[in-house]
């Protein structure tokens, strides 16, 4: 028995007290299981499943790290889009450049998207994701000549949505910039941008185009009032962006005409390196279609390719 001040406590009293304290203490929040996350964010996991299926389908055409294969399955690229493949502005967000790219984006999507889907709800989350992916595709076409694929533009849109939501939750801009969660997101954006510039071949145009669209759409969705007018203004601006990216009626000239003819030739004959590996898959139908489209728009280089073929 131990005594303190005016009261004495037996060993059994102390044991009972410790037990009560343990029961009354707040329990640590357990990390939800993958199944619980899937139930809480079905759209996030549904999109990840679509990406996996699209990747398995794409691999049937060849190695998805090859530019020619990416173009075959729907990668976004300026020349193809401007010649009429407008659907590439959206299809690219469901494709990936090899297994590593797919696995990383799938992992990152669960970390980034689950919380945003729970806040916005399934329909609004899907709207932000798809519009961000389209915005990333448009930015890629307008600002780069690269062949691009991946969900990163859409997912950066969700990162932008995270920032917009956090700003809504805080009383003013000063509190937003001081917020540890905001700083953490900004640091991560900076780290990945630096890695993309120095080590990996990332499409920053798609990333930041998607993030900008994600911020704007989420800001409109979470506005307490005046959404109709904001949606109207955004719709006009986004339509202008899409039209600028599609460039209907475009006629290739100079370097663009040469690039078009080059793509047509590559698909018509294919390319195999010295080790016998297919570097560019042969797709005669696609090559002829590119040359025909170019020739129809008055591109002499494309007409020359057709004359050789026929």
Residues with catalytic roles: 152, 207
Helix-helix angle 98-120:152-169, to 10 degrees: 30
* Tokens, residue 159: 């990162």
* Tokens, residue 18: 């410790």
* Tokens, residue 208: 């930041």
DSSP one-letter string for 163-192: HHHHHHHSSSHHHHHH-HHHHHHHHHHHHH
- C-alpha angle 211-212-214 in degrees, rounded to nearest 5: 60
Q: Work out the number of other CB atoms within 10 angstroms of the CB of residue 239.
A: 10
* Tokens, residue 19: 């037990």
Overall size of the chain counted in residues = 310
Gyration radius of the chain over CA positions: 26
Say how far apart CA 178 and CA 157 lie, in whole Å: 22
| 302: enclosing H helix or E strand | helix 300-309
Q: Are 114 and 44 in contact (CB under 8 A)?
A: yes
* Tokens, residue 167: 């700003």
Greatest Cα pair distance, the chain, in angstroms, is 108
Q: Which residues pair with 271 in a beta bridge?
A: 280
Q: Are 184 and 130 in contact (CB under 8 A)?
A: no
- C-alpha angle 176-181-182 in degrees, rounded to nearest 5: 45
């Amino acid at each position: 028995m131990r005594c303190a001040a005016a009261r004495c406590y037996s060993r059994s009293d102390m044991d009972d007290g410790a037990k009560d304290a343990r029961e009354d203490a707040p329990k640590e929040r357990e990390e939800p299981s993958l199944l619980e996350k899937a139930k809480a964010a079905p759209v996030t996991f549904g999109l990840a499943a679509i990406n996996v299926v699209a990747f398995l389908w794409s691999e049937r055409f060849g190695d998805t790290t090859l530019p020619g294969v990416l173009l075959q399955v729907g990668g976004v690229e300026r020349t193809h889009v401007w010649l009429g493949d407008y659907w590439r502005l959206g299809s690219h967000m469901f494709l990936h450049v090899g297994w590593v790219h797919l696995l990383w984006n799938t992992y990152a999507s669960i970390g980034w998207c689950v919380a945003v889907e729970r806040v916005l709800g399934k329909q609004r989350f899907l709207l932000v994701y798809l519009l961000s992916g389209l915005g990333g595709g448009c930015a890629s076409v307008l600002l780069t000549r690269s062949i691009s694929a991946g969900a990163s533009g859409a997912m950066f849109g969700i990162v932008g949505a995270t920032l917009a939501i956090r700003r809504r939750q805080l009383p003013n801009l000063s509190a937003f910039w001081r917020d540890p969660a905001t700083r953490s997101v900004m640091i991560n954006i900076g780290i990945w941008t630096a890695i993309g510039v120095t080590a990996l071949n990332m499409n920053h145009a798609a990333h930041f185009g998607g993030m900008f669209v994600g911020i704007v759409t989420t800001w409109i969705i979470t506005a307490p009032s005046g959404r109709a007018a904001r949606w109207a203004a955004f719709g006009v601006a986004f339509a202008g962006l899409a039209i600028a990216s599609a460039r209907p009626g475009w006629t290739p000239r100079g370097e663009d005409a040469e690039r078009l003819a080059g793509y047509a030739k590559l698909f018509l004959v294919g390319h195999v390196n010295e080790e016998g590996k297919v570097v560019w898959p042969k797709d005669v139908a696609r090559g002829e279609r590119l040359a025909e489209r170019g020739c129809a728009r008055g591109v002499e280089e494309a007409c020359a390719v057709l004359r050789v073929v026929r």
